[in-house]
Structure 1
Amino acid sequence: MKKITFIIPLLLCISIVGCSYTDTKSSSTKPFKRESPPVIDVSSNDTVTNDCCYTGEKLTETEKSNIPFMAIIENSKDARPQSGLSEADIIFETMAEGGIPRFIALFHKNTPKQIGPIRSARPYFLSIAEEYNLPFAHCGGSDEALSTIKTDSSIKSINEIVNGSYFYRDTSRKAPHNLYTSADKIRKYITSKNIKADIASNLSFDNSFWKNKDLSNATVVNLKLNNFYVTNYKFVNGKYEKYMDGVKSIDKNNNLPLTFSNIVVQQTPIKIQSDNLHLDIAMIGKGSGYLFSNGKVEKILWSRSTSNTQTELTTEDGNKVYLSKGNTIWHIIDNSVTPAYN
């Protein structure tokens, strides 16, 4: 991705600036019949009776009533190790300025006591939050993202700039890599503001999908996303352990490695805007990708028709794709990048 790497020096110059309202310019398996996913209003904390639609896992009675939400989490080297990522149901990872990655994580099943470092919003993160119709925590944003938040009332922004009591600074870290929140704080905000949060996902889960002997092995997955960031995965004890820049990724909260049942790789056009800093990432449309699970790989197609619909995943011949039960990391990468695996 040569086209987005030359701006690293500029990013490094602006990375010392704290959060603000505006960033400076700075397989052939036969598919099963499945009903449409339920949409459940949890704003009143009514008990939810279905299993987790984000992971396919069984939920306890307490977990069923949890309000789902998302949080934008920094992924520069200074932000690692992050807090709370091991407890997310789905983590979306894509690029911010200068080819430095950033996460937006979805939490439902678990209640992490610390989440962060929290960072600023971009239009494509808004698109992901809108896709799942969930409130999301962040600190400021780009001009474009903040303008969209201001004019589109359907976007459920929880901005630290105007809601500081629901966030806090960790004095053991230097700004701007020290802003955190918690599941309890964000859920308290959602309840106090009577924000409607939907539990809805079109993801399907069936472990037997991955017993197809025709699927290729993929016990090691490597993603060189640019000259400055590499992430790879090793399949160990039924999960993919994540490494970033050659270092095993852990959760600061519990020292546990970041492991995933599924890795989705969604390929799409990523272009630099006219300011030579911010990115345009195509979230609506069609494209190809890969799904890794259970030490295997399935080449996939993705499609999303509008901003308020969810991304559909199918096999290359148009059949339904099934994930293994468990958590997922979802990479959104440029078309020029191809994962290497064996």
Structure 2
Amino acid sequence: MKKKLVFLFIVCCLTLISCGIPIKPKEDTTTKKEELPTLNVTNNIQNEQSQVNSSLYTGEQLSKEEMTNLPFMAIIENSSSARPQSGLSEADLVYETMAEGGIPRFFALFQKNSPQKIGPIRSIRPYFISIAQEYSLPFAHCGGSNEALNSIKDNTSIKSINEIVNSSYFWRDTKRKAPHNLYTSSDKIRKFILDKNLQSNGASFLRFDDKFWDNPPLQTANEVSLKLNISYTTSYIYKNNKYIKNMDGKESFDANNNTPLAFTNIVVQKTPVKLQEDKLHLDITLVGSGDGYIFSKGKVKKIKWNKKSAESPTEIIDEQGNKLSLAKGNTIWHIIDKNIEPSFK
């Protein structure tokens, strides 16, 4: 009987071998297995996350909560009666240019921070609409010039948040006199964006690279001054890696928190600025090309700017045609007449 069982076992083994099914040998536990190379998945994920979580407007790393903040812009008055303004110290990017009567006006962009008081809010102009379209963002304002309001009416892609027809998203501060007392907040504007189902994904042509500004050959610029007309001068002093803003000889600060207005970068864009036929409103050329400056980390670089069409981004290059980057941080962007020259030392 035992002989028959042994014979059957041998037959089965021969059958399996003939069918191509190998018999697995016993593993040699004395031999160390070969270790295959592995990818550092964690580091790759972190690198991808760091790129994804970089602010479009400052180049800085944002928290998950900050990344979910809907970006928007707001027109903020800059007459002497409007100072100190609220919210400017928390803006990622602030444009400053002239409006009527030689009075400057700010156009501020917010994402990272969420100030609970922003203003005073004032009216829109066509050149501010062009800037908002460049970033593809909604903007808060109160009325505007006829030209600007007609553009908003005729172009549904313009994301206007006009207080005149949306007053519940704004309020008047009784401690200030009209028209210098209209305010809004990040919460109210973001609620409007959600209520009206506006797109606020944002876009940006800005580039950021700290290494460029560590280049020793760049000319020093620790003090910058812009005399923009007979009634308004603004200047900056570089201190603690920021340019501290002064207006008409007085240090500027935010009414919300008494924080000085301070910026990592100052961009100066020179372009034709002309009075319209009504001798009141301005035409500011934003399509075309011109000269300018970037001030950052106590240094200065001459620039050229180009904008091919109303829909295209503004390109910042050096005199050799190389694209330029800002240092990581907030920026104030001056748009001034081509005949004005900033002084610095």
Give TM class, smaller chain. Answer: 0.7 to 0.9
Q: Conserved in 1, the CA contact under 8 Å of 2:291 and 2:303?
A: yes
* Counterpart among 141, 152, 156 of residue 153 in structure 1: 156
Gaps of 5+ in 1: 1-47
Matches within 5 A, 1:28-39: none
CA deviation after TM superposition for structure 1 residue 53, in Å: 1.1
2:343 partner amino acid = A
CA deviation after TM superposition for structure 1 residue 217, in Å: 0.4
The equivalent of 2:173 in structure 1 is 170
Higher mean alpha-carbon deviation, 315-324 vs 165-174, is at 315-324
Between the aligned partners of 2:290 and 2:180, the Cα distance in structure 1 is 34
Q: Conserved in 1, the CA contact under 8 Å of 2:95 and 2:107?
A: yes
The equivalent of 2:342 in structure 1 is 339
1:80-128 per-residue CA deviation (whole Å, 9 max, x = no partner) reads 0000000000000000001110010000111000000000001101111
CA deviation after TM superposition for structure 1 residue 306, in Å: 1.6
The equivalent of 1:102 in structure 2 is 105
1:1-52 per-residue CA deviation (whole Å, 9 max, x = no partner) reads xxxxxxxxxxxxxxxxxxxxxxxxxxxxxxxxxxxxxxxxxxxxxxx94310
Between the aligned partners of 1:312 and 1:299, the Cα distance in structure 2 is 14
CA deviation after TM superposition for structure 1 residue 213, in Å: 1.6
Matches within 5 A, 1:228-247: 228-247=231-250
Matches within 5 A, 1:1-342: 49-342=52-345
Q: Conserved in 1, the CA contact under 8 Å of 2:223 and 2:235?
A: yes
Between the aligned partners of 1:144 and 1:71, the Cα distance in structure 2 is 18
The equivalent of 2:3 in structure 1 is none
Q: Conserved in 2, the CA contact under 8 Å of 1:71 and 1:137?
A: yes
1:337 partner amino acid = I
CA deviation after TM superposition for structure 1 residue 198, in Å: 2.4
The equivalent of 1:35 in structure 2 is none
Q: Conserved in 2, the CA contact under 8 Å of 1:74 and 1:118?
A: yes
SS at 1:105's partner residue? Answer: strand
CA deviation after TM superposition for structure 1 residue 279, in Å: 0.3
SS at 2:153's partner residue? Answer: helix
1:200-244 per-residue CA deviation (whole Å, 9 max, x = no partner) reads 212111111011121110000000001000000000011000000
Between the aligned partners of 2:270 and 2:191, the Cα distance in structure 1 is 36
CA deviation after TM superposition for structure 1 residue 309, in Å: 2.0
Which structure is larger by alpha-carbon Rg, 1 or 2? 2
Q: Conserved in 2, the CA contact under 8 Å of 1:132 and 1:198?
A: no
CA deviation after TM superposition for structure 1 residue 167, in Å: 0.1
Higher mean alpha-carbon deviation, 210-219 vs 224-233, is at 210-219
Q: Conserved in 2, the CA contact under 8 Å of 1:49 and 1:64?
A: no
2:243 partner amino acid = Y
Q: Conserved in 1, the CA contact under 8 Å of 2:134 and 2:203?
A: no
Q: Conserved in 2, the CA contact under 8 Å of 1:92 and 1:104?
A: yes
SS at 1:319's partner residue? Answer: coil
CA deviation after TM superposition for structure 1 residue 147, in Å: 0.8
Structure with more relative contact order (C-alpha pairs < 8 Å, separation 6 or more): 1
CA deviation after TM superposition for structure 1 residue 333, in Å: 0.2
How many residue pairs match? The answer is: 295
Gaps of 5+ in 2: 1-50
The equivalent of 2:13 in structure 1 is none
Q: Conserved in 1, the CA contact under 8 Å of 2:265 and 2:329?
A: yes
Between the aligned partners of 1:310 and 1:333, the Cα distance in structure 2 is 19
Between the aligned partners of 2:291 and 2:185, the Cα distance in structure 1 is 35
SS at 2:291's partner residue? Answer: strand
1:233-274 per-residue CA deviation (whole Å, 9 max, x = no partner) reads 000011000000000000000000000000000000000000
